[in-house]
């Protein structure tokens, strides 16, 4: 009788719900809350996902590309141009460079290109200010242009077609619609200097169309010489000086190339021409030195910005680990491998399957797959919406990959009936043994 008395008493307490209490989801009004249990179906999932929600964004430091503007370089003061007398020559010998094969235009530093794309509507760091979907970019000292959401793309030294291929590949790698057009707006990288006895001394750009010696003189306003047959046109290229009489220029179709310097000498002064070319060389040296200094400064600036970006990301990660960053959570309760809270990701939405998988899933021995709930506060403070997923049919689990979670949702999994009895017995037997000993 001593053994049966505790058993009868414990059974009575169990029937009264005192010996073992297990959480359940019920539509009964509890604590002033009205619970509405809805089976999870395609239509009910669609209705639940209609609840407005904007995921918290990552800090801007995670989406910014590292780029820096080009530092302009000056040419410095040109050297003085010497002047001396020169007697009229009997004839002007013709000395011209060997004909060069025509080559396609290669994009270079300083060129300004226009990129038109429906997905590039925001200006880049080194953008020249154009509005709309056409963006202007200056090819910087490292040969690259900086494109938002793509990064730095090196196009210097490439033809327009090769640059388009490179941009197409980078757009595809960054999942951007590769429908775009590329054109060169300003040709600044390849130039020819024209000076001496011309009406308008000029620096002429080389473009897609080949530039010839007679065309360059025309663009410089023509030669300012009363005796063309005694006027010398001198061409300085790669350390070699060439020349031809002015009245023979049109018959000698000399194609110009980047770095050529032309001097029209109406006074038969070779020394003046030589001084002009030395001036161009000195000018090029000054520009080269300042360009290198600008490139070094650009690299230093990029390194500094990259370091600042890495430090900002590290600070954010430390705050995140310490819980000092506002996060949205979903709470996981009931028969799961681990009861915890699931942090909703930044910048995207999470679904029920993400939350359940984060804990290791539902244990087959204890979890009731037919009673998986998502509890969410209703529109008023006295209502609770409960969506019930019946996972006994594995096909229904596809709904878990579609059901979007919202902040403060509660994912609850009921226990198996046999689990409830097993736990009851685990509590009961120690009491029986203790009673029998007494």
Residues 234-259: tens digit of each pLDDT? 999 988 899 888 888 888 889 999 99
Average pLDDT over residues 269-278: 64
User: What value does the mean pLDDT take over residues 130-143?
Assistant: 79
Residue 410 backbone dihedrals phi, psi, to 5 degrees: -120, 120
Whether 429 has a pLDDT exceeding 70, the answer reads: no
Which residue matches tokens 């490139």? 295
Query: Looking at the predicted structure, is the pLDDT value of residue 299 above 60?
Result: yes
CATH number of 106-188: 3.30.1950.10
Q: How far apart, in whole angstroms, are the C-alpha atoms of residue 362 and residue 320? A: 28
In the chain, what are the domain boundaries?
A: 18-56+327-417, 106-188
Share above pLDDT 90 across residues of the chain, in percent, rounded to a whole number: 32
Predicted local distance difference test score (pLDDT) of residue 123? 46
- Left if phi > 0, otherwise alpha if psi is -120 to 50, otherwise beta: which for 143? left
DSSP reduced 3-state for 56: coil
Cut 0.85: pTM above it: no
Contact 333, 339 (CB under 8 A): yes
Mean pLDDT, residues 153-170 taken together: 93
Fold entry, domain 18-56+327-417: Outer membrane lipoprotein wza fold like (3.10.560)
Strands (E), 272-343: 329-334, 340-343
At residue 322, φ and ψ (nearest 5 deg) are: -85, 0
């Amino acid at each position: 009788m001593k053994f049966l008395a505790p058993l009868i008493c414990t059974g009575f307490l169990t029937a009264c719900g005192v010996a073992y209490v297990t959480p359940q989801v019920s539509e009964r009004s509890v604590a002033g809350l009205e619970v509405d249990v809805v089976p999870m179906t395609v239509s009910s999932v669609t209705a639940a996902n209609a609840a407005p929600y904007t995921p918290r964004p990552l800090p801007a430091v995670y989406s910014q590309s590292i780029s820096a503007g080009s530092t302009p370089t000056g040419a410095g003061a040109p050297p003085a141009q010497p002047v001396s007398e020169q007697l009229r020559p009997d004839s002007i010998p013709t000395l011209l460079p060997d004909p060069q094969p025509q080559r396609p235009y290669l994009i270079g530093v300083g060129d300004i290109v226009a990129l038109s794309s429906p997905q590039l509507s925001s200006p880049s760091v080194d953008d020249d200010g154009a509005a709309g979907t056409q963006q202007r970019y200056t090819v910087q000292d490292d040969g690259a242009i900086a494109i938002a959401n793509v990064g730095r793309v090196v196009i210097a030294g490439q033809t327009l077609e090769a640059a388009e291929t490179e941009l197409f590949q980078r757009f595809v790698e960054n999942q951007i619609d590769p429908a775009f057009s590329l054109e060169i707006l300003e040709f600044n990288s390849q130039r020819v200097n024209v000076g001496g006895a011309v009406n308008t001394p000029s620096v002429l750009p080389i473009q897609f169309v080949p530039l010839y010696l007679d065309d360059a003189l025309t663009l410089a306003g023509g030669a300012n010489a009363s005796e063309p047959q005694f006027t010398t046109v001198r061409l300085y290229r790669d350390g070699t000086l060439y020349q031809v009489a002015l009245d023979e220029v049109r018959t000698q179709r000399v194609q110009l190339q980047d770095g050529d310097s032309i001097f029209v000498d109406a006074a038969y002064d070779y020394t003046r021409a030589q001084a002009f070319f030395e001036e161009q060389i000195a000018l090029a040296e000054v520009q080269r030195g300042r360009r290198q200094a600008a490139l070094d400064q650009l690299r230093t600036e990029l390194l500094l910005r990259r370091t600042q970006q890495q430090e900002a990301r590290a600070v954010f990660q430390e705050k995140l680990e310490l819980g000092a960053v506002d996060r949205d959570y979903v709470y996981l309760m009931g028969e799961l491998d681990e009861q915890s809270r699931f942090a909703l990701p930044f910048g995207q939405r999470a679904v029920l399957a993400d939350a359940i998988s984060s804990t290791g899933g539902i244990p087959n021995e204890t979890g009731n797959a037919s009673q998986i709930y998502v509890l969410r506060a209703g529109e008023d403070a006295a209502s609770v919406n409960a969506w019930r997923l019946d996972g006994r049919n594995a096909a229904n689990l596809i709904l878990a990959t579609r059901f979007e979670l919202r902040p403060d949702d509660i994912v609850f999994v009921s226990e198996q009936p046999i689990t409830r009895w097993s736990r009851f017995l685990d509590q009961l037997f120690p009491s029986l043994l203790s009673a029998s000993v007494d």
